[in-house]
Amino acid sequence: MQIEQIYTGCLAQGAYYITSNGEAAIIDPLREIQPYLDRIERDKVKLKYIFETHFHADFVSGHLDLSNKTGAKIVYGPTANPSFDAIIANDNQIFKIGNITIKVLHTPGHTMESTTFLLIDENSKDHAIFSGDTLFIGDVGRPDLAQKAATMTQEQLAAILFHSLRDKIMTLADDVIVYPAHGAGSACGKNMSKETVSTIGEQKQHNYALRANMSEAEFVTEVTDGLLPPPAYFGMNVAMNKSGIPSFENVLNNGMRALTASEFEVAADETGALILDTRNNSDFYQGHIPQSINIGILGDFAPWVGALIADVNQPILIVTEVGKEEETITRLSRVGFDNLLGHLQNGFDTWKISGKETDTVNRITAEQFANEVKIGESKIIDIRKESEYSAEHIEEAYNKPLAYINDWIKDINPQEHFYIHCAAGYRSMIAASILQARGYRNFSEIEGGFNNISKTTALPKTNFICQSKILKI
């Protein structure tokens, strides 16, 4: 028996590849399936089953492409209702892979179809669970993502999750390994550990939601407390995972169309496509296509695309560093942004050489900022998360997290100059590009963000929270 966790950092997502005696199973595969096909070919095994723990909200699964390529059956837990052929397993149903067994444990609460898969080894011993979004390391799945579909409140779903954990998971032996679908950084929970594997016993000791003396009411309160609104694209990804989606190969072929500067410009004008520039923020601010949005490929690219662009049907034209086209397309497809019209051939240099109009962002150093700003008079917008702002921020700065820019941008006075920063410059350049695309020009973005401000200036900082300076969603 072999178990491999295939972890994708930008999505904080774990897929699992399992083999035993010539047969294989894959759990929660990502959209691009070639890495799985390569492993199957390498190991000379037959893929028998593709197990899906639930209808994922934060990424588009590769289950359909993988099934079509290999003939493997797709398996969901009870109550799932996909629009394609799949095995809808019963609770406690058994599936054989070589010399091992996968047992279905229906564990609703995160969503109603959520299922944990228990691996029983060659010696009939409970070995590991693949818990999906039911149980994370240090956390449990948020119970608010399936409210509309389930016509239930988040409190009702949390109560169901409480019993799934107590009745199905916490009854397993302490040495059973826990393999979750996500780790720290995912929006599917709120308190996940950076660790990506644990045991039942460790989670009983350290996971706040598995306290032995916890009542159902306490669990519901603690699990639902502090939940931020889910990213706007989540519902669209669920719909895509329930229905048929284009093959990844088709999406890749469309995105890999290389367009000249003139073709790129015509496509943008005729389709209303969003121009997505994935270069480093240090390159973007010095020159870019007017109205383009900068979300750098080297950061948390896919989640920010999903959170800020939101509509997976939005036509997109891509500007990348030369050689990064395929990676960009792959990472866009993981969160369902399939309507790709092509990319600018040879990157931004093609546009610049053509003589077409370019734009820049007013980026200043932390030292310049310190020399210019007047604490208490100048408007400073800190777009970090509320938890970062709460830990320490510049005195009198407003906290308006980037994730909610589509809500707070309308409150900005375009006539009033303001400064904008994040922690290191990645997020603030995203915000700067969105602001400029919507006509805001009277601002300065701070290079290196709060990190540089703290290191190189003596500007006053505080962890005191003035509620009037916090954006409430």
* Contact status, residue 278 vs residue 332, Cβ threshold 8 Å: no
Tell whether the model's pLDDT for residue 149 goes beyond 60: no
* Polymer length in residues for the chain: 473
- In the chain, the domains with their CATH numbers are 2-234 (3.60.15.10), 246-353 (3.40.250.10), 363-469 (3.40.250.10)
For residue 429, give the nearest of 360, 341, 337 by alpha carbon: 360
State pTM to two decimals.
Answer: 0.91
Rounded Cα gap, residues 412 and 414, in angstroms: 6
pLDDT digits (tens, 9 = 90+) for 60-112: 999 999 999 999 999 999 999 999 999 999 999 999 999 999 999 999 999 99
Phi/psi at 35 (5° precision): -60, -35
| Percent residues over pLDDT 70 in the chain | 99
DSSP state of 359: B
| Percent residues over pLDDT 90 in the chain | 88
Query: How many Cβ atoms are within 10 Å of 274's Cβ, its own excluded?
Result: 21
Rounded Cα gap, residues 460 and 454, in angstroms: 9
**What pLDDT score does 230 carry?**
86
Rounded Cα gap, residues 199 and 126, in angstroms: 12
pLDDT digits (tens, 9 = 90+) for 15-48: 999 999 999 999 999 999 999 999 999 999 999 9
Mean pLDDT for 123-127 is: 98
pLDDT digits (tens, 9 = 90+) for 257-308: 999 999 999 999 999 999 999 999 999 999 999 999 999 999 889 999 999 9
Structure confidence at residue 472 as a pLDDT band (50, 70, 90): low
**What pLDDT score does 203 carry?**
97
Please give the structure tokens belonging to residue 267. Answer: 């496509």
Please give the structure tokens belonging to residue 388. Answer: 């970062």
Rounded Cα gap, residues 61 and 457, in angstroms: 46
Rounded Cα gap, residues 35 and 430, in angstroms: 31
pLDDT digits (tens, 9 = 90+) for 261-271: 999 999 999 99
Rounded Cα gap, residues 137 and 198, in angstroms: 7
For residue 219, give the nearest of 139, 290, 333 by alpha carbon: 139
